[in-house]
Structure 1
Amino acid sequence: MQNKKGYALNVRWSQKHQTRPNTGESSLRQKKAKSRTTASSNSVVEGFHQMNGWLDPASQLDFLMPAEIFSIDNLSQGILGVESSPRINNNNILGSPGGNLTVWTLPEDSGSTFEIEQPMGVIGQSFGDSASHPIFQSLNPTQEEQSLVQARHPCLDPHRRMSNTPTTLSEYFFREVITLYCSWDSELNVMRNIIEKMWQSSGVLYHTIQSMAAACLSKDFPHLLRVAREERSQALQLVRDRPQEMEKQVMLLSSMLLGHTSSWLSPHNLATENFRASQSILDEIATENSDSSEMSFFRDTMDYWAMLLVYLTDKNELGGYHREERIGPPNVTKPVEPHPYSGISQDMVRALTDTGILIFQYRKHMSTMKFMTESDLDVFRTALREGRRLERTFLAHQVPSAVHTKNPGDPKTPLRHLELMDEAYRCTGLLQLYRVFPDLLNERYSPWDKDHILRPLPAHQVPTKKERQQWLTHFALYILGILEDIPFESRTRSAQPFVMVAISGELRQNSHDLQGSEVSITDPGLLSIDILSIEVARARKFVSSRLSAYTHILPLRKSQIILELINQVWSAVDNGQDDAYWLDIAYEKNLGTMMG
């Protein structure tokens, strides 16, 4: 038996109205009667003292859904009792019986579909130096029993919040972290639904969400950094052990979350080993069930994750990653379901992934080339052909029709925001191709005209290097204009850093505009400032201000790394490095991190 014990509060979305079993009251009276005849009665009262106010309506129900989506104004308060119990091993949680639950529900006429249940088992480790921690079991004391507790402890404040780190972190995760982590959030969010359903009966999910919440709070509360690392370590160990009784979908989601958020604690850790493990688990699940909405969520999650990785690491690091290829025309009768990370941009995410693989492999090969050979020319020709194919994919893409797209139901992220992000992804992919493969831009070049970005005319002329750069700068400003149309309050802000980094190198000012005090006032030509440079300066301020604000919304070291990378890119181009590319600088300066 282990010395440490723990507990968890389970609050989940429910479609039923249950009444509180009568057995709870009789059980409580038996326990109270017994406690009055033993020397341990004081510990029971202390339990009431600690737990009182736990079901305060302002503290425990509204964290499940954002306040603008759901709120509860009336909830009867209760006082919870305390009973010691041995800690249940994490690996056996899924086998815990569910027949001894005491259910708290709202009255039949309340119209709410929330319920609070006590966990089936004990999940996680308690925090602090105490050698043991009681398991809490929800009870519904009578008025007489409440009076008894008040009489013994006249200073007891029934509204005082319980101070307990695991409960606070769990609450913070559901209330804040999910909304920061996802591009939209509502009761339709598959990720939220899986976690709400399973986190109390799964040690690995419990430790995962504790780690994520602690990491988000660690800047303001530095002592939580150690908590975040310890919880992450326990979750990773459970994923590695893969106990037989653990549901594969729960294990897969935990592995994905741990991989995505590895950079929250170690900004440069891309956790490719988590990616490979997740792909392996997904392949196992796919052989059993390949058509559910949850499977679509997992597949699209892997695609989005791959997109963020392939620009910063070799594709070989992704192991057996492969996509579920679609056969035949898309089913237009089935509405498009937005993904919590990629929104409605699944097709563009895949195209961006292919673009990243192409660019990384091509740049890697060319960086090792000192003298060109015939085989090097073959590599170039093959890459250029693939670039043309991807260019056609981006140009031919059509944003999913709003009529055939399910509304995410998030007032802060309407469907229009997801459509704008899809357009930003498409243009960002084209910009990468035109930067790395100038021949593609030469083949379609005509002076900048935003109306012909996606409908290029035959080449008007072969552009000079300066003309090509100005065209790319206009294109980058156009993409930033798309992001400017999305208010900062939109939850798509979690997906925007990738776009900002990918276009940062094209926000270039004319060199004579950067000469500062060295410019002679006798040369009026050098004193002139062109409109494009002014627009670039304004665009840079927009990027800096939005990312700086983002570092306060998601106060993680990786957010600072992203901003530092962009500043390094600007410093390089301002210092005359005409061929500076953000991917190369991220590698040279060791500034690669997860940008989504």
Structure 2
Amino acid sequence: MSASPRTSHLKSRNGCLRCKSRKVKCDERKPACQRCEGQNVQCPGYALNVRWSHRHQRQAGSGPSRPTSTAVWNDLLPQDGWPTPPTLPAPKDSAVTVLSPSSAASWASIQNSWMIGLDDSDLSMTLFDPLAATEGAAEATRPVALFGRRSLSPSPAREISHLPTALSQYFFSDVISLYCSWDSKSNIMRGIVETRWQSSSVLNHTIQSMAAACLSEDFPQMLAVARREHDQAMESIRADFPSSTTGRKDILLAYMLLGHTASWLAPQNLATDRFRASWNMLGSIMEDAPDDNAKTLSFFSDTMEYWAMLLVFLTDRRELGNFRRRPGAAMIGPSPSASASDTAGSIDEPHPYSGISRETVKLLTDTGILVFGYRTHMAKVRFMAERDLDIFRAALRDARRLERSFLAHVSPDLVQLRDPGDPQTPLEHLRLIDEAYRCTGLLQLYRVFPDLLSERYTPWCEASLLSPAPGSGRSSITPEERQAWLTKLALHVLGILQNIPFESRTRSVQPFIMVAVSSELRRKSAVCNSDRPRLGYPTISGRNSGDPTRSSLLADGPALDRDEIEVVKARKFIRARLAAYSHVLPLNKVQVISELLKAVWAALDRGEEEVYWVDIARDKGLRTMMG
């Protein structure tokens, strides 16, 4: 009897690493295949399958690259450039870096959450593999590959993995979730990158630069890799700027990421040149393809608004170029004058950076433009002139308009929003961030324009914070009353953040809020002054500390006010959360934020009047991206 013919079926060599190691069929779905999801394990991803041409990349020892094809794109690149990085101690294949045993031990401390749930056979092909504690001393003393794989059976040889592949895996498994305020399969930023990175040279180099920068704290060699990949991404833009809308979107996203994360490589680099180029590029795409994917274009425009919010408190409005000025700007997102209800109704899914705070982010951007410009001008005024009075009156009118907008703002109804599906960041966390943004904006206005607070001043009452009674203000309030009220508002904002657990991915947007309220955390004198009213502060949780005339906690020794203790606790809360953030996202820019906080509180503790964080950041050069 003849044997029955074997059923033929298509085979694929492009399955995920786990399915390939088991020699089973993989549906190749991204970011995770169905087989891995069905077994409740983390899909390790797919092998590198890059399909771009290398003809534009500069080879070692080759002459200068050809000039750019379009002169206008020369403006996209920074003029100063990165310092020449030291040569990595690597073999001829620069894609592999060898670590000493001590460095390899440090590698073991990196959070490899994507390895959890993998069995022994999966670990045999894992990209990020620390030394096992059970291996012998002779094994531990040998240098190991940075991205090597370890067989569970003793073997003298170690297979070296491809560094770009390892960095790409790390970007998708860790960096995106650290960078965004929420993350899941519905994250549009994740979706765009996962779809395009293997066919886009600029996106590929961009994500490897971001991944290497995140690893540079534990592995200093990675800083040179991050800079090299960054430069190669910029060279890809120079070499061949595409004419298709899809290609331009790849470059726009890469350029936004390169600009927003420039501070990862140089902490005080605000990359305003890349902001201007990104805004012009977005306007060009909008004009050429106004009917293109509305969801994608909305993502890009809201990204620009969030980026602008982080910049405008630290740099002059002119550094933003044509932001909101070019003719096509009106098509990008709702107008700043749109009502809160209209904005809330138009939001379908939270933005990966600004969450559900589209309207408050725009209001904060307008506030930053106003505050920075006004404070910078007034800092130069030695003798008041008529022009200075005109600037003051115009600024006060704009401040009143912004105050009314903040007070009238209504957060989007969570029932009408699509849950992003991130168990660590429910919609309630995004609502709390929106409330914190709103109160932070009011705090900036009341600090810089005291007349606004005088017009609405009544003793602190949290219930009436956002709905002051009309005509309830006084013609003048004492400096002590004003400072006490602002301190209570700052503590109220920090109380909102305290209600969000640190595990929430909104931690990536919280540094800006904490810095923006820091200059109101003034400690009162340790010695009681009977001429000054003792105004009670609320606790960080938002509750009032009780009798404002309460005596010192200590019967003997210097006076110690419990209200001052609440301020000290608030400072400790900020330090603790920022320190924890620096361990999750170990970047040098976090140190700049810490230095700014120290400078602000040192000025307050010296008894300086009218301390404001924007002034200190500008005067001391402590400017960095805080989101």
What TM-score results when the alignment is normalised by the length of structure 2? Answer: 0.71
Does 2:592 align with 1:561? yes
Q: Which residue, out of 520, 530, 551, partners 2:582? A: 551
Partner of 1:369: 381
Q: Which residue, out of 152, 158, 167, partners 1:169? A: 167
Alignment coverage as a number of residue pairs: 489
User: Measured at CA, do residues 133 and 306 of structure 1 come closer, stay the same or move farther in structure 2, by a change above 3 Å?
Assistant: closer
Q: Which residue, out of 334, 339, 348, partners 1:326? A: 334
Give the root-mean-square deviation of aligned CA atoms: 3.8
Matches within 5 A, 1:448-527: 448-457=460-469, 458-461=471-474, 462-512=476-526, 527=558
Distance (whole Å) between structure 1 residues aligned to residue 190 and residue 571 of structure 2: 35
Partner of 1:304: 306
Q: Which residue type is aligned with residue 321 of structure 2?
A: G
Partner of 1:337: 349
Secondary structure of the 2:197 match is helix
- Compute the displacement of 1:545 (Å): 0.3
| Alignment gaps of 5+ in structure 1 | 1-18, 26-50, 93-125, 135-152, 516-520
* Residues 56 and 77 in structure 1, CA contact (< 8 A), matched pair in contact too: no
Partner of 1:442: 454
Does 2:60 align with 1:89? no
Partner of 1:382: 394
Distance (whole Å) between structure 2 residues aligned to residue 75 and residue 267 of structure 1: 33
User: Measured at CA, do residues 76 and 319 of structure 1 come closer, stay the same or move farther in structure 2, by a change above 3 Å?
Assistant: closer
Partner of 2:259: 259
Encode CA deviations 1:151-175: one digit per residue, 9 max, x unaligned. Answer: xx9x997x98753311111111000
* Residues 53 and 162 in structure 1, CA contact (< 8 A), matched pair in contact too: no
* Residues 182 and 506 in structure 2, CA contact (< 8 A), matched pair in contact too: yes
* Residues 501 and 582 in structure 1, CA contact (< 8 A), matched pair in contact too: yes
Encode CA deviations 1:88-123: one digit per residue, 9 max, x unaligned. Answer: 32669xxxxxxxxxxxxxxxxxxxxxxxxxxxxxxx
* Residues 178 and 185 in structure 1, CA contact (< 8 A), matched pair in contact too: yes
* Residues 63 and 176 in structure 1, CA contact (< 8 A), matched pair in contact too: no
Q: Which residue, out of 593, 597, 601, partners 1:570? A: 601
* Residues 345 and 412 in structure 2, CA contact (< 8 A), matched pair in contact too: no
Distance (whole Å) between structure 2 residues aligned to residue 571 and residue 217 of structure 1: 32
- Compute the displacement of 1:72 (Å): 4.8
Q: Which residue type is aligned with residue 455 of structure 2?
A: E
- Compute the displacement of 1:579 (Å): 1.0
User: Measured at CA, do residues 564 and 417 of structure 1 come closer, stay the same or move farther in structure 2, by a change above 3 Å?
Assistant: same
Q: Which residue type is aligned with residue 317 of structure 1?
A: E
Partner of 1:201: 199
User: Measured at CA, do residues 23 and 194 of structure 1 come closer, stay the same or move farther in structure 2, by a change above 3 Å?
Assistant: closer
Secondary structure of the 1:421 match is helix
Distance (whole Å) between structure 2 residues aligned to residue 20 and residue 282 of structure 1: 46
- Compute the displacement of 1:495 (Å): 0.1
User: Measured at CA, do residues 232 and 411 of structure 1 come closer, stay the same or move farther in structure 2, by a change above 3 Å?
Assistant: same
Question: Relative to structure 2, which stretch is displaced further, 170-179 or 401-410?
Answer: 401-410
* Residues 51 and 199 in structure 2, CA contact (< 8 A), matched pair in contact too: no
Q: Which residue, out of 276, 292, 297, partners 2:294? A: 292
Question: Relative to structure 2, which stretch is displaced further, 487-496 or 282-291?
Answer: 282-291
* Residues 210 and 228 in structure 1, CA contact (< 8 A), matched pair in contact too: yes
Q: Percent identity?
A: 50
Encode CA deviations 1:181-217: one digit per residue, 9 max, x unaligned. Answer: 0000011100000000000000000000000000000
Q: Which residue type is aligned with residue 312 of structure 1?
A: L
- Compute the displacement of 1:594 (Å): 0.2
Distance (whole Å) between structure 1 residues aligned to residue 507 and residue 312 of structure 2: 21
Does 2:428 align with 1:416? yes
Partner of 1:237: 235
Secondary structure of the 2:520 match is coil
Partner of 1:95: none
Secondary structure of the 2:430 match is helix
Secondary structure of the 2:453 match is helix
Distance (whole Å) between structure 1 residues aligned to residue 53 and residue 225 of structure 2: 21
- Compute the displacement of 1:239 (Å): 2.4
User: Measured at CA, do residues 265 and 77 of structure 1 come closer, stay the same or move farther in structure 2, by a change above 3 Å?
Assistant: closer
Distance (whole Å) between structure 2 residues aligned to residue 337 and residue 90 of structure 1: 40
Q: Which residue type is aligned with residue 490 of structure 2?
A: A
Partner of 2:221: 223
- Compute the displacement of 1:242 (Å): 4.5
Distance (whole Å) between structure 1 residues aligned to residue 445 and residue 95 of structure 2: 58
User: Measured at CA, do residues 170 and 373 of structure 1 come closer, stay the same or move farther in structure 2, by a change above 3 Å?
Assistant: same
* Residues 31 and 45 in structure 2, CA contact (< 8 A), matched pair in contact too: no
User: Measured at CA, do residues 204 and 525 of structure 1 come closer, stay the same or move farther in structure 2, by a change above 3 Å?
Assistant: same
Q: Which residue type is aligned with residue 326 of structure 1?
A: P
Distance (whole Å) between structure 1 residues aligned to residue 311 and residue 266 of structure 2: 15
Secondary structure of the 2:420 match is coil
User: Measured at CA, do residues 524 and 326 of structure 1 come closer, stay the same or move farther in structure 2, by a change above 3 Å?
Assistant: same
Bigger RCO of structures 1 and 2 (CA < 8 A, at least 6 apart): 1
Distance (whole Å) between structure 2 residues aligned to residue 172 and residue 267 of structure 1: 22
- Compute the displacement of 1:578 (Å): 1.6
* Residues 212 and 261 in structure 1, CA contact (< 8 A), matched pair in contact too: yes
- Compute the displacement of 1:564 (Å): 1.4
Encode CA deviations 1:104-150: one digit per residue, 9 max, x unaligned. Answer: xxxxxxxxxxxxxxxxxxxxxx995436999xxxxxxxxxxxxxxxx
Distance (whole Å) between structure 2 residues aligned to residue 444 and residue 415 of structure 1: 32
- Compute the displacement of 1:511 (Å): 2.4
User: Measured at CA, do residues 373 and 407 of structure 1 come closer, stay the same or move farther in structure 2, by a change above 3 Å?
Assistant: same
User: Measured at CA, do residues 284 and 245 of structure 1 come closer, stay the same or move farther in structure 2, by a change above 3 Å?
Assistant: closer
| Alignment gaps of 5+ in structure 2 | 1-7, 58-87, 97-150, 530-551
Distance (whole Å) between structure 1 residues aligned to residue 599 and residue 410 of structure 2: 35
Distance (whole Å) between structure 1 residues aligned to residue 242 and residue 374 of structure 2: 43
Distance (whole Å) between structure 1 residues aligned to residue 607 and residue 505 of structure 2: 36
Partner of 1:585: 616
Distance (whole Å) between structure 1 residues aligned to residue 344 and residue 514 of structure 2: 33
Distance (whole Å) between structure 2 residues aligned to residue 227 and residue 452 of structure 1: 53
Encode CA deviations 1:309-354: one digit per residue, 9 max, x unaligned. Answer: 0111111111111153637772776553200000000100000000
Partner of 1:430: 442
Q: Which residue type is aligned with residue 54 of structure 2?
A: N
User: Measured at CA, do residues 72 and 262 of structure 1 come closer, stay the same or move farther in structure 2, by a change above 3 Å?
Assistant: farther
Encode CA deviations 1:374-407: one digit per residue, 9 max, x unaligned. Answer: 1110000000000000000000000100121111
Distance (whole Å) between structure 2 residues aligned to residue 310 and residue 563 of structure 1: 20
Distance (whole Å) between structure 1 residues aligned to residue 519 and residue 44 of structure 2: 57
Secondary structure of the 1:270 match is coil
Distance (whole Å) between structure 2 residues aligned to residue 75 and residue 380 of structure 1: 58
Partner of 1:211: 209
* Residues 55 and 77 in structure 1, CA contact (< 8 A), matched pair in contact too: no
* Residues 186 and 408 in structure 1, CA contact (< 8 A), matched pair in contact too: yes
Distance (whole Å) between structure 1 residues aligned to residue 506 and residue 376 of structure 2: 32
* Residues 311 and 583 in structure 1, CA contact (< 8 A), matched pair in contact too: yes
Secondary structure of the 2:456 match is coil
* Residues 52 and 160 in structure 1, CA contact (< 8 A), matched pair in contact too: no
* Residues 91 and 245 in structure 1, CA contact (< 8 A), matched pair in contact too: no
Secondary structure of the 2:191 match is helix
Q: Which residue, out of 179, 182, 186, partners 2:180? A: 182
Does 2:345 align with 1:314? no
* Residues 513 and 526 in structure 1, CA contact (< 8 A), matched pair in contact too: no
Distance (whole Å) between structure 1 residues aligned to residue 159 and residue 308 of structure 2: 42
- Compute the displacement of 1:238 (Å): 1.9
